[in-house]
A and B are shown apart, each in its own frame.
Chain A
């Protein structure tokens, strides 16, 4: 079994946008930035658990829709004065497919 899981086509992911992926270990947000990079982080703001996929994507950051925390997509860390971080998930683009690291989304593999 490949160590990567295919979650869909790059074209399903809007530019400066995001989609949510359901997994047994919780929701993962997959983001595509204006410069066409793809990132994945756990879809829970370190502040109050807000769904980060619903936020506005700008630069390599996303702003949480609940209380405007700005989260770095590269490191998962809260920016500015806020403190906290969300787990980043290894993601890669192969051709036009987007892949997540299986170990990060598979309950059994993660265990």
Chain B
């Protein structure tokens, strides 16, 4: 029989615990999660890159909705548990939901500590703890102004760097004489302070906050010495306190945290504590590595294996601010029984210090060059006697003859690491496990290693090491990019490029290539059209379309054929036409001697075999009859196929033709990652075949059923149902918002069904059907973009645009030949 497992809290530790548990004891537990945050499990360590703009929230989600569904987990989002009844073995949430448990895991994490000064409750004073705080900070940065960050520790400095990157004037207040004094010695603290100041961040040390001033929102911060610092945003990052209230109320043993054994069991054998709220053998933890270790131990115990025990390990600290390399580990205080080795390179901004006791490393601080951190950590863990390499130890592994070889080859250094050397600190993964998984599972890329070992799946700083291991194992067959790169011109994948275009505000193709360090001078036929699309999509009003970066069809607005001639398809709105339109087409066909005319699958007419030189004249004649380009060549909106609907059909429930025409008139001209074909059927008999389209609408008596992500080409796939609308206006808003979401997130040439598979249909439903303000924002951005996109390219070219394109440069040699 399945047991009932209830978890209070949905952070990284319980998420990891469940992954282990489902692997070790699949089907054993029915899992219910109460989460006070209204979210899924995301990577909290990566909030700083979200704040700075280097990542988006969606990038840091660890478990999407599909994962919870796949494991049958009941996730109560936005539910705070208010009561644990240990006798009845139930928990109850503030929304009144009660769940019985056989085993209960308390994983409530910690609360940010807010220093008790006047004004700390004012609007504009934030903690830095969760995605909600980051959202509020981002909202504040949009208004600009000045921010004060109280706390010069890890979190405070990451917040300060992020706010500065977002354009705010930032001051860091730190009560101690040097920054990050718990992780850094004064020398490294000084270098860090200097670097932050160089970046324009004000730093005040020995700064005691006396009060936060303001009437209806924060206005300034007052220091004990009377200094006033104006601020429209105050971020408090002075520390965290285990969140133990619920355990205390339930009568469990609580000290600083919820007291547990080294098997994570609280004073009630049916209840376990996990994560930042737990106090294991007298210690509470705040970094992810020991929390993941707790998760591993607890999962084993729940699965019935009580052998694993939690053992304390020093965890290295790294600062996640792009461009600052910093690594600290263990104990680096001075003492009579200790020796130290120090290397300073002032011009390069490098400071390295190793603290030894009895010829063994007990602590390390590295600033400016931290690549050897893992090696020093390994020596420390194994208590290796370093007397034989003392003279060169500080230069790192590459210099150690007999250790890493005398070469400076970084691969050799990694090859020299022993199998139990730790590679991923966050997840406690050693080299042997990674190389073992690469061999046993036949892994070929970073994603595979992440999936099977978790290495490099959290903060990502060990990604370089993992890649070197892949390289060592696979040799030249390994493609060293972290993600499939867009093309050989770059190591960046599509998503990264899109994110960086927005984060760095890049608005031309040369700017993207310069800033993202393209390896070719002007890209290639793969990346240039992709970049051109991304820039058109993100900066519709500012970006000047690069004509030379478009595939020929989009450059000359017709479809190239195998013999170098072109085909031309004018728009027939919703597939409707008239005698005068047909007559105009017939005249054009005769006049230009067009060899073939065909009815397309998208309910319009294709004229094939037109010579390139004739295109502008063909368009001129079509234009006189009222035709515009059908964009049958575009990675953009193609057709909206319709049936005759309630106007003619005895089964029709709505005006499907009218709605199709309305959609087409609204959306024509828009560029999308790949072609976008729509259809509207007037009843479930579905004569317009809407259920295999990119976006389809099925009209029913009560309104409109919106479908998407169908395919009827290389792949055949029925659509997914996105949701229902009761009015045509609502249906239009949904379709348009969906198209915009796809425009913003899709990879170039990725059809909507592939994008949906990658993102997850539930996530798309959540953003379009549940989050109405977000849907509206997508819709508004589409409408804005259309202002610049809805220009008929044919009439532009009839008026002379790109004239040279349709004429040969010269005809030479004929006169002489005729002589």
Instruction: Using CB atoms and an 8 Å cutoff, list the residues of chain A in contact with chain B.
Output: 5, 7-8, 12-17, 19-25, 27, 30, 33-35, 48-51, 54-59, 61, 63, 65-66, 68, 70, 100, 102, 105-109
Contacts and interface: CB of A to CB of B under 8 A. Distances in A.
3 nearest A-B pairs in the assembled complex, by CB-CB distance: A63-B525, A19-B809, A7-B810
B313 interface: no
A107 B817 contact: yes
25 contacts: A7-B810, A8-B809, A14-B548, A15-B548, A19-B809, A22-B812, A23-B811, A49-B564, A50-B564, A54-B552, A54-B556, A54-B560, A55-B525, A55-B552, A56-B551, A58-B520, A58-B523, A58-B524, A58-B525, A59-B520, A59-B524, A63-B524, A65-B553, A107-B813, A108-B816
A21 B808 CA distance: 6
B529 interface: yes
Given A23-B814, A48-B562, 14 more contacts: A7-B810, A19-B808, A27-B808, A51-B564, A55-B552, A56-B525, A56-B528, A56-B551, A56-B552, A57-B548, A65-B552, A70-B524, A70-B525, A106-B816
Contacts of A51: 560, 564
Contacts of B560: 51, 54, 65-66
B522 interface: yes
Interface string B601-644: 00000000000000000000000000000000000000000000
Given A5-B812, A13-B809, A106-B817, A54 B564 contact: yes
Contacts of A14: 548, 804
A100 B810 CA distance: 11
Contact of B809 (A20, A59, A66, A70): A20
Contacts of A63: 524-525
A16 B817 contact: no
A17 to B, nearest CB: 6
B521 interface: yes
B819 interface: yes
B520 A5 contact: no
B548 A16 contact: yes
> Chain B, interface size: which category?
20 to 34
Contact of A24 (B550, B556, B564, B814): B814
B813 A59 contact: no
A22 B521 contact: no
Interface of B: 520-525, 528-529, 548-553, 556, 560, 562, 564, 804, 808-814, 816-817, 819
Given A50-B564, A51-B564, A55-B552, A105 B521 contact: no
Given A58-B520, A59-B524, A12 B804 contact: yes
Given A34-B522, A106-B817, A108-B816, A56 B549 contact: yes
A87 to B, nearest CB: 15
Contacts of B521: 34-35, 59
Nearest to A54: B552
B276 to A, nearest CB: 51
B817 A24 contact: yes
Contacts of B816: 106-109
Contacts of B817: 24, 106-108
Contacts of A107: 813, 816-817
A24 B231 CA distance: 76
Nearest to A98: B809
A94 B655 CA distance: 65
A82 B548 CA distance: 24
Nearest to A22: B811
Nearest to B489: A58
A106 B809 CA distance: 16
A58 B808 contact: no
B109 to A, nearest CB: 51
Contacts of A35: 521
Q: Which of A8, A25, A54, A63 has the most CB of B within 10 A?
A: A54
Contacts of A21: 808-812
B353 to A, nearest CB: 47
A58 B677 CA distance: 31
A23 to B, nearest CB: 4
A105 B810 CA distance: 12
Nearest to A61: B524
Nearest to B522: A34
Nearest to B565: A51
A5 B816 CA distance: 11
A54 to B, nearest CB: 4
A65 B809 CA distance: 19
Given A14-B804, A58-B520, A24 B525 contact: no
- Residue in A50, A58, A66 with the greatest tally of chain B CB atoms within 10 Å: A58
A12 B807 CA distance: 11
B237 to A, nearest CB: 47
Given A56-B548, A108-B819, A16 B522 contact: yes
A24 B520 contact: no
B275 to A, nearest CB: 51
Contacts of A5: 812-813
Nearest to B564: A51
A58 B522 contact: yes
B528 A58 contact: yes
A24 B813 contact: yes
A21 B809 CA distance: 5
B812 A105 contact: yes
Nearest to A64: B525
Given A54-B564, A59-B520, A100 B551 contact: no
Contacts of B808: 19-22, 27
A30 B809 contact: yes
A103 B525 CA distance: 33
A90 B414 CA distance: 52
A59 B528 CA distance: 12
A22 B552 contact: no
Contact of B812 (A7, A13, A68): A7
B264 to A, nearest CB: 56
Contacts of A57: 548
A57 B520 CA distance: 13
**Which of A12, A30, A56 counts the most chain B CB atoms within 10 A?**
A56
A83 to B, nearest CB: 19
**Residue from B520, B553, B810 whose CB has the most chain A CB atoms within 10 Å:** B810
A102 B548 CA distance: 29
Contact of A56 (B529, B809, B812, B819): B529
A8 B813 CA distance: 14
A46 B521 CA distance: 26
A68 B524 CA distance: 11
A25 B548 contact: no
Contacts of B528: 56, 58
A8 B810 contact: yes
Nearest to B520: A59
Nearest to A23: B813
Contacts of B804: 12, 14, 19
Nearest to B802: A14
Contacts of B811: 21-23
A30 to B, nearest CB: 6
B509 to A, nearest CB: 10
Contacts of B809: 7-8, 12-13, 19-21, 30
Contact of B813 (A17, A25, A66, A70): A25
A66 B548 contact: no
Contacts of B523: 58
Contacts of B524: 56, 58-59, 61, 63, 70
A105 B522 contact: no
A58 to B, nearest CB: 5
Contact of B562 (A8, A13, A55, A66): A66
Interface centre among B556, B560, B813, B819, by most chain A C-beta atoms within 10 angstroms, is B813
Given A56-B528, A107-B817, A22 B810 contact: yes
Contacts of A12: 804, 809
